[in-house]
Amino acid sequence: MKRIKCFLCLFLLMLLINTPALAKSSKISFEFFEENNTAYIVMELLDGVSLGEYLKECGGKLDKDSSINIVVEVSKALSSLHEKGIIHCDVAPDNIFICPNNVIKLLDLGAAKLADAEEKVIDIVLKPGYSPPEQYDKSKNIG
């Protein structure tokens, strides 16, 4: 139950974040709900492809302008999260989404946690090549 409450608390904090680079919750009447002993968040439906898919389509290379746009927009999203004390913990090409007109969205806050959380992290998302070294150290409380 504590983890569900933390998950929903993160969702409520995300509602306060106003940046176009962060995927938003859907504007329907039920934006989050609890069912089957877990919590669900309904996010906006996006048109586009993940950065991972986009890289495959481009032969693994991006031009300079596209690279700068992606880095700037993801940085804005992360900055907005950090201002609210939220650490994403899973920034990787499959969680960066490229929409039409090169609009960039940072997705999937399922691994996110509050920076000042005192509890030990139970689930750590590790993606070789993308996870920071401190996430591999089980003796530390990440965040």
SS3 content of the chain, % helix, strand, coil (to 5): 35, 15, 45
Q: Which one-letter amino acid corresponds to residue 139?
A: S
Q: Is 63 in the active site?
A: no
Cβ burial 92-122 (10 Å sphere, 16+ → b, else e):
bbebbbbeeeeebbbbbbebbbbeeeeeebe
**Which one of 47, 63, 65, 90 is the catalytic residue?**
90
Helix or strand (DSSP H, E) at 39: strand 38-41
Q: Distance (Å, rounded) from C-alpha 95 to C-alpha 81?
A: 15
- Residues annotated as catalytic (active site), given as ranges: 90
